[in-house]
Structure 1
Amino acid sequence: MGREFLDIFEEWAEEYDRSVTGHDPQYEAVFANYDAILNEVTNESFGNVLEFGVGTGNLSQKLLDAGLGVVGVEPSPAMRDIVMEKIPDLNIMDGDFISFPKPPMKIDTIVSTYAFHHLTDEEKEVAVKQFSNMLPTNGKVVFADTIFASNQVRKDIIANAHAKGYVDLVEDLNREYYTTIDVLKDMFERHHFMVSWKQMNDFVWILIANKK
């Protein structure tokens, strides 16, 4: 359920904002257009929003600034501490994509950035089924994540990162459960979503899934 990566989340907590703003060369391409990615997710969201993997609260703040109702789910105590200091009024709960407290209000949009890849494909499907059951007709899932157009693209990107000596990035790409567009498209369609995509950089695509 992604919690096997909790130690990594704790290590990342203090460095995350530095990385997303382009100060770590290994992850510069991963976080290219970061602000535009957050804006795109925000613009696609409506009503009451459930955010998984709040991290350091960067998307949460944009959603709140847009006037949306927001409740966050974050498994990392260190990340939650940072968010509670930055956004004291945010309702943030301990949980993950599969196991989380019942939100205090009806949810219209489910969002996440840079987090869904912490689940295996089998776990992703369990989560998507739950999203479908939770959302009303015309509700939305809007996820920005590292997703690959094909397995060959994934292999090429890993080879390129290896050639540049990006040891940490290569380790991440080999360890975590990155998947492909076709797999996610089929998965969401099986659970009554219509899916569209926007590519934001060489790594990140935004998945927009509308509940039928």
Structure 2
Amino acid sequence: DIIDNHGKNIQPRFHYIRKMRELYRYQNHSGLIRNLVILKDFLIRTYPCCVPTGIMVRKQCIDELGKFDEDFNYIGDLEFCIRMSTKYDFYYVNQKLSAWRYTESSETVNILHTQTISPVYFYRLIDKFYYKLNVARFFPKKDREKIIMDAYIFASKRAMLNSLVALKFFDIKLLLFTIKTVYKSDPFVINRIKLPFSLFKEFIIALYNLVKL
């Protein structure tokens, strides 16, 4: 749930924050998720469980794979969960275990609304897991190229959150920097062609939801 200072459920106007209910509801039932299934999903389509207040981890997992990597800054929780999924299965509990208090003083809210987020970190995830740790070896050879291609366009969509801040404040310099970084970081031409259409679709959905409020 997303709540205000008084604990009441609210519906934020910012499209991405409103989508969080969908983003973090991984499936509609509780159950065990094999590590390769959730690892692939982390890389290419969703972030199933990276809200720190919504996860529990055995101490032996942290002892073996390490704590949060501060080099990943604001997506350290995501990096941590992906690292756990390289070895361990997850158990998904289909219940509301925590709520996010949405206030103007929230650091996350300020980052999403008024500050820039470095688009580089999303590509660093790919570099670390797909190349340095070679998680590709876990998947069939015939699927590897498709997975890495999808991972890049997923990272690009996340990185383009910067553009929302840029448009809000008419910051052309930030907008151009973000676009340049995204197109420079994704090596797949087909992704660079598909990205504008995908973003336009998200923009239309966000605009439609804003008008409905």
Shorter-chain TM-score above 0.5: no
Q: Between Structure 1 and Structure 2, which shows a larger proportion of strand residues?
A: 1
Q: Between Structure 1 and Structure 2, which shows a larger proportion of helix residues?
A: 2
TM-score, length-scaled by structure 2: 0.34
TM-score, length-scaled by structure 1: 0.34
